[in-house]
Structure 1
Amino acid sequence: MTIQWFPGHMTKAKRTISEHLKLVDMVIELRDGRIPMSSANPLLQELIANKPRLIVFTKRDMADESVTKQWIAYFEKDGQTVIFIDSQKDNVKKILLENCLKVMDAKIQRDLRRGIHPRAIRAMIVGIPNVGKSTLINRLAKRKVVDVANRPGVTQSIKWLTVDKRLDVMDTPGILWPRFDDVKIGNRLALTSAIKEQILPIEQVVAFGLEYLLNHYPKILNERYGVSATEFDFDATIEMIGRKFGFIMAENEVDKRRTMAAFMADLRQDNLKSISWERPDEYL
């Protein structure tokens, strides 16, 4: 199933990024550490082309650390240097500066041999909506520069920030691609608030999320919702969750819509801790 969509502000964001790429030396691509592959935007790969790139995985604190270690091994085996960060706690300024200097080292050394004193590296930060760009920018600035919310589409304009005398970064709006050919990618993006949940049928997204939890995090599913099962049954699971939280309508029926909305709210509010929504063995 192909999901087609592309709001007007996405078209504008794509054009903005394309126009500003010529102003930067490299690109810092942010991906969500909970969905490392599903948050890789093929449209960005096309726009970035041959620009030097540093890939940074955000929200490490919200992911399953054991799965994150599997992802690190997966990317390193593929010859890629990857960085997983907790933007709230890590020294992100030091981490980004050191790694940007590594990425641009060949150019810096070439300029030095020519007697040219290197200027500050100019890096563009790109990524899908709600990947954590605003949080990262605010930490780098050590103050609130941009609004932060657990919903897509918060950053809507270009902003420059001097991180260090050796690094300037440009923040850009989050951008998605026009359509999702893999329904699993759409579901993961909805579960992590990269896209508005209204874009996909909520039953589809919730069913995908609950079945994934049953298969990989049954303890979380049981502790939060009282669900204990060996095989997934969507209606039975919604019934158990609805009754646990008292979402009962007339004639003792569970309010299905309210129950599904509560599950999605739990995800937005990070009430279900340390979940990685995809794993390396799915890509082997």
Structure 2
Amino acid sequence: MVKDMDHINWYPGHMKKTKDLLRDSLKLIDIVVELLDSRIPRSSKNPDIDTIINNKPKLVLMNKSDLGNEEGNRIWKKHLENENTKVMFVNAHSPKDGARITKEIQSILKDKIEERKAKGIKNVTVRAMIVGIPNVGKSTLINSLSGRKGAKTGNRPGVTKGKQWIKLKGNIELLDTPGILWPKFEDQEVAMNLGFTGAIKDEVLDIETLALRLIERLISIDSAVLEDRYGIEISEGQSPLGVMDTIALARGAVARNKEIDYTRVANMVLDEFRKGVLGRITLELPERE
């Protein structure tokens, strides 16, 4: 998948600074809002976050919930929710979900708000910090929550930089932080999942191999996803490369010399998966405990 897995600069300097920023900002905020990708909740969760935030109240937002399948969403909610953590499935583009999120933040902090009112503080403002890996949809969500178009968005990791406070409805101030990955991917499946969903820049990946691995994963989950989309039949025991060739032929991804244009078919499969054109797909489920 990756050109050289051991030498990719997964942890550039700005991500270390972000980690320090998170620690320094904790004393300023009342709640942490963690954004995950509902297709890959485990892989899109930075394992450093829980250690950094310690026992702060937390709201987990499973973004792109319309791209993960319903059963997968239900299983993950049950797995992640606990006394100090609430879980909501959202679509960052939805203003209706934005209203639900602000209401849930107020609900989680109800006791703290009442406590401050009892001290004579009027118009109590609560502060939240939003965290998440690159390209998980933070900027889009912030735009939806704030009703503005100020936060830069894009389908590429690394758009948000620096430290920003954004005022939301309901007397909530939200601290945005740059997306943060972690120093090293020892779990190859995590790295693959992040590549599939675009959390790692395509430029540092071997796109053709990445698409091949995605096809392999989709066959193992439900081969009908590929059969229905591309109008093909996948025979028992057919290799992922054979399926990739079949898709290419079905979609005319063939060069002038009649050889398969693997770059073209790879980009097509990855793009259609990321946009949800292939359907609602959850790539991973919690490990059985």
* TM-score of the two chains, using structure 1 as the length reference: 0.88
Match of residue 187, structure 1, among 189, 192, 210: 192
- Greater helix share, 1 or 2? 1
Aligned to 1:63: 68
Q: What's the offset of the Cα at 1:19?
A: 2.9
Residues 80 and 232 of structure 1: is their aligned pair in 2 closer, same or farther, counting only changes over 3 Å?
farther
Aligned to 2:97: 92
Q: What's the offset of the Cα at 1:127?
A: 0.5
Aligned to 1:260: 266
Whether 2:148 is the aligned partner of 1:133: answer: no
Q: What's the offset of the Cα at 1:131?
A: 1.0
Amino acid at match of 2:126: I
Match of residue 236, structure 2, among 230, 233, 237: 230
Residues 48 and 199 of structure 1: is their aligned pair in 2 closer, same or farther, counting only changes over 3 Å?
farther
Contact 1:150 1:268 (C-alpha < 8 Å) held by counterparts: no
Flag as ranges the 4+ runs of structure 1 deviating above 6 A: none
1:131 partner SS: coil
Match of residue 143, structure 1, among 124, 143, 148: 148
Match of residue 82, structure 1, among 78, 87, 95: 87
* TM-score of the two chains, using structure 2 as the length reference: 0.87
Amino acid at match of 1:239: D
Aligned to 2:220: 215
Aligned to 1:123: 128
Contact 1:26 1:122 (C-alpha < 8 Å) held by counterparts: yes
Amino acid at match of 2:171: R
Residues 78 and 68 of structure 1: is their aligned pair in 2 closer, same or farther, counting only changes over 3 Å?
farther
Moved more, 124-133 or 8-17: 8-17
Structure 1 spans left out of the alignment, 5+ residues: none
Distance 2:242 2:43 in 1: 29
Q: For this pair of structures, how many residues does the alignment match? A: 283
User: How far does the alpha carbon of each residue in 1:14-40 deviate from its partner, in whole angstroms, 9 at most, with x for none?
Assistant: 233333332212211111111111111
TM-align CA RMSD: 2.6
Distance 1:25 1:76 in 2: 19
Distance 1:55 1:139 in 2: 17
Whether 2:280 is the aligned partner of 1:274: answer: yes
